[in-house]
Each structure stands twice: as structure tokens, then as C-alpha cells.
Amino acid sequence: MKRLLAGRIAAVLMAGAALLAAGGAAVPALAAPAVIPHGTMATRSVTTISSVQPDFTCPRPSVCLFPHNDFTGKYPAWGGPAVLATDVWNGQWYSFSQAGASNPNPGSLNDNSNSVMWVYAKNINVGICLTPGRYTLEHTYGYFYIEFGVTACPASPPKPFP
């Protein structure tokens, strides 16, 4: 996975250099998710992938969860990616199991909701806030909290933790 990601980043950088050499516009850097520390909870960054174009389009306003790290795969309960309507799945901590998106926990997600989403790994006490976009999660996180209508990461995560 790390070798594949490094190859993708190198390809993006080479394409950007080629565009610049040809007089084209600069290629924007990959955005990083907001990582908000709180108390003793450790934080960790995740990778944003903006160049992946999965066949599946995530409807608005929802968060789509994929079992694979490359925005593909099907959860049996959904017959495809799990599609969480953010006006329903918000305001409290949920496990990915409750959402029918576990075994494995999501490897990637597409937040097409214009709302922030917290993901939390209870076993290692790591939580992060994700703004709308696409992220690889590598099956690390078991819980999520969607802050419906909130577009920027607040200073602290919602409490109590699961």
C-alpha cells in the first residue's frame, strides 16, 4: 500500500513538473485533513486522495464508505458501498458496525456532505476530524461522528467518546 501511494504521489509530481515545463498551470498539492488534538487523545493524519475516480458516485449529502483502500468494494448489507445520509447519521458516535460497514472497517471514504466527520480508533485512542473530501482510512477507525451542517473542524471532538 505504501509503495502504491508513493508511486501515485510521484506520478502526480511528475505530471505537475511536465505541465509547468510546458507552460501549464501548477498542480495543486494534495490537501491534508484537519487533525485536532484534544486532551490526551492522540491524533494521526490520514491521506487525502483527490485523483481517484471510482465508478461509484457518492450522492449528496452523504458519506460513502468503502471496504477497500481504493474507493471500491461492497458491504453485504448495502450491496455496494455504505451510503450514510448525513441528515440521519449525525449528532452521536456510531460504530461502523451499527452502519453495516464493518468486517472490515472502512478502508476509504468519500464525504460528499458538506459536513465534517470525526473518525475514532478506540483501541489506540486516535481521533481525527475530516472535512468533506476523499480519504483512505486503512481500516483503522471503528467509530464515526458526523456534525451535520458544520463545514470546518471545531477545536475539540464531540464528547463523550465511545
pLDDT attached to residue 57: 77
**Dihedral angle sign, alpha carbons of residues 122, 124, 125, 127:** negative
Any idea which architecture 31-147 has in CATH?
Sandwich (2.60)
Q: pLDDT tens, 115-161?
A: 999 999 999 999 999 999 999 999 999 999 999 999 999 988 998 98
> pLDDT tens, 31-81?
344 443 444 454 444 544 444 444 567 898 999 999 999 999 999 999 999
Q: What residues does each domain of the chain span?
A: 1-29, 31-147
Nearest in space to 83 (alpha carbons), one of 106, 50, 116: 106
CB-based contacts of 58: which residues, under 8 Å, 6+ apart?
64, 81, 83, 110, 112
